Amino acid sequence: MIVLHEVCKQFMQGDEEAHALKKISLEIKKGECVVLKGSSGSGKSTLLSLIAGLMQPSSGTISVDGKEISKLPESFSAQLRRKNIGFIFQKFHLIPHLSALENVIAPLIPENLSPNSLEEKAKAVMEQCGIAHKAKMRVNRLSGGEQQRVAIARALVNNPSIILCDEPTANLDETLSLALIAEFATLKQQGVTQLIATHDPLFFELPFVDRIIEIKNGEMIL
């Protein structure tokens, strides 16, 4: 379960304080699929980053699976992300000089698995994401859609209980977008909690989406 209570986030822009999020209170139950709808700059990405522990709120509290992460040191946040959260970033955040396979393996390295086990587990999820045929290629030589599929495979490789997605179909054509949506439907059946930030209309009428929440100017529109 994800619980946010009156979460605010401010950033300094020059000498002025900008309010990215304003008193967001939200509860997402285990296994729910929730879509965050909003235009670019509305605060969706900031909200996902806060839930993932990539940044801390200016005020308010955030709990993930019963643990308040709002003020956790980065080492504990990183451990929580590795074990519980898969994050599909809008800008991928891949390591450009590594191969697709090496990027997918990276989150598994702290698990102390054998090299063969690491490769087998990574290749299995890459096959699932339709990118196994590019396993040995450096990611900086892949197309935007191929890099997105590598990023999705990396997010799924640890079998997380929570998936956070920031514009997951932004670099995919319609065929690949529908294939990814089918994967989200499967994750829903498996009881994985999903929070998807998007302005892609494909997500707004899906039968497995439990709720659509609109974010505008850092506020929830009820």
Instruction: Write down the pLDDT at residue 211.
Output: 95
At residue 145, the pLDDT reads: 81
* Per-residue DSSP letter, 135: T
pLDDT at 109: 79
170: phi > 0 → left, psi -120 to 50 → alpha, else beta; which? alpha
Q: What's the order of all strands across the beta sheet hosting 85-88?
A: 85-88, 162-166, 193-198, 33-37, 211-216, 219-221
Q: What is the pLDDT of residues 94-143, one digit of tens each?
A: 999 999 999 999 888 777 788 888 899 999 999 988 899 999 999 999 98
CATH architecture, domain 2-221: 3-Layer(aba) Sandwich (3.40)
- pLDDT value at position 11? 86
The confidence score (pLDDT) of residue 132 equals 92
pLDDT score of 110 = 75
Q: Which residue, chain included where needed, has tokens 């587990």?
A: 121
Strands, E assignment, 14-49: 16-28, 33-37
Q: What is the structure's pLDDT at 107?
A: 83
Which residues does the chain have with pLDDT short of 70? 75, 222
pLDDT of residue 214: 94
Q: Tell whether the torsion through CA atoms of 92, 94, 100 and 104 is positive or negative.
A: negative
CA-CA distance, 46 to 145, in Å (whole number)?
A: 23
pLDDT of residue 99: 95
Domains of the chain, residue spans: 2-221
Task: Return the structure tokens found at 197.
Answer: 């930030």
Tell me how far apart the alpha carbons of residues 121 and 111 are, in angstroms, rounded to a whole number.
12
pLDDT value at residue 126: 92
DSSP state of 126: H
N-terminal to C-terminal alpha carbon distance within the chain: 21
- Give me the pLDDT at residue 60, please: 94
185/191 Cα distance (integer angstroms): 10
